[in-house]
Structure 1
Amino acid sequence: MKKHIATSLAALLATTSLANAEGVVNLYNWGNYTSPELIAKFEAETGIRVNVTDYDSNDTALARIRQGGHGYDIVVPSNTYMQTWIDEGLVVPLDRSIVTNMDNIAPEWVDVEFDPGREYSVPWQWGTTGIIVNTSAYDGDVNDAGLIFNPPPELQGQINVIPEMSDVMSLAIYYAGGESCTTDMDVMRNVRDMLVEAKQHWKALDYGTVDAHVAGDFSAGIYWNGSTMRARLQNEDLAYGYPTTGYPIWMDSAVVLADAQNTENAMTFINFVLEPENAAMISNFARYANGVTGSEEFMDEVMREAPEIVVDPELAAAGRFSPACSQEVNDLQSQIWTEVLQ
């Protein structure tokens, strides 16, 4: 009898453990990038609890997943890193029997170079990297990367640069007259010298600085358009600049990890964010476009005419979608970036 009770208890514990595992999905995402409203709605509709853990850069996320033993199910890499995730077998193809909302992806974001036909990923958000300026401290042209790389006196010592290598290097290379993924050593030497010289005029290299910009702790910086919009809505002196020398356009996409413990739940969540109303929740929170057709009608009115979202055609022409560079180029840029950070 005792043996039977013990066996039954073991079976019950095993079943309970499985049920708990089936009721969870663990999302590893950029900091301050996940809509609490979206999470609450998903949990209410599915009964699946969502745990969100933040990271601060593509490199941080990639290094953590490579280590293994992380417990995450979903991650949201940028397009320039997606091929690495796929090539290294860190992600799995989407289960189309669960992810049935693929037709909601806007046509221009389906057959993308970083994941042709969207075999592995779905859009999360996309945007640009440019310049944030406090116009009470500087009243000149904000569409100038020179404000960061050759700052005027009124901005020196009051600049924050997001420490995301690919974004900063792209802006610097364009400003130096180069092209994405260039191997021109003359250009790259100029970029290195320019960044090392400019850094002495920077106050910080930090990510989560919306509140700091709102408070006036910085007068300028390299920042993303959505984060700048969030700051501007709290401080009307803040403006977003699109460097005329060129600026990167990027997309972050959600993928399911190969060593996920809750794969089915992860696929369910992936499918959920492709519903237009849900995609709009992500955009309304973080203030970026999302790549899901029909989400526009659920967007906050303030999103529809925001200068950080709706770009003047002349300035839009300077935007360049960030490609994935070769390992040789990545190594060269990493070497320069390491020198800048010292």
Structure 2
Amino acid sequence: MGHEVVAEVWRGDFLESVHHGTVVATDSSGWPVVSVGRPGDVAFPRSSNKPLQALAMLRSGLELDGSLLALACASHSGEDFHVRGALQILAAAGLTEDALQCTPDLPLGEEARAQHLALGLSPAPKYMNCSGKHAAMLATCVVNGWSVDDYLSPSHPLQVATRATIEDVAGEPVAQVGVDGCGAPIFAISLTGLARAFGRLAAAAPGTLEHRVASAMNAYPEWVGGTGRDVTLLMSSLPGVIAKDGAEGVYAVGLPSGEGVALKIADGSSRARAVVVVAVLRRLGVDVSSVEGLATVPVLGHGRAVGAVRPSLALAS
């Protein structure tokens, strides 16, 4: 991808480092109105795909709503309520945690991970940040009478339906298929397509499945992320906004106006993601005063803030 500088790392008055990336914002028609880099190039959206995957499950007949639907869209922190929710989805489908094929892991959240280790617990699929999505995938298979043994195969009916849904809401064909960190297929689209898809979900009419996904994320942001997570703060502070972080520096946001934002930090780090998102939202005219704490990230020296990560001048202006 043709990345440009989107964030700067200042230590005092010295520019120490930069983050390159690609950023796009689309209007309600899906047309790019802010563009940095080459957002038409394709990328793996990673976990930013999860709301689109959840939509595919609903289109395939899954009956899930509220907090558990939000959990299906989540890269959760592995807090107790997240784990209980994933097991609840499985139990309603007549399954146990043994059916989960996501990677055994420790909780993603720092506090939850520390508590987990203090109790001497081991990594397990149910603690993995994608367990809500996998539980919902398995439940979708049960509803349709599909095999639960090979639900991660790209040729499985569930994944075929997922690919078709992503292509529909993104308005473009999937360019590449890979394997995500959790073992599920991951479908590459352009960042423009990802932004377009999120704008469509956030602005969908009441009564539609797209609106159902967005409403669940809006109502239960802590189930999409977790305590103290920036994605949780964005959705709880900005009415009608949906947001989803992804690995390798990806982030996507949908606004109730139908505008969408998608970005990828080139080095794959998460440090600058929220900084860039807030800068783009400000450029779109969104009142970001309630999330001003995400607009910069402190750079520490001897335990105190001596600088900041902030958006590049080109992006901020």
Q: Same fold (TM over 0.5)?
A: no
TM-score, with length taken from structure 1: 0.27
Which structure has the highest strand share of the two? 2
For the pair shown, the structure with the greater C-alpha radius of gyration is 1
TM-score, with length taken from structure 2: 0.28
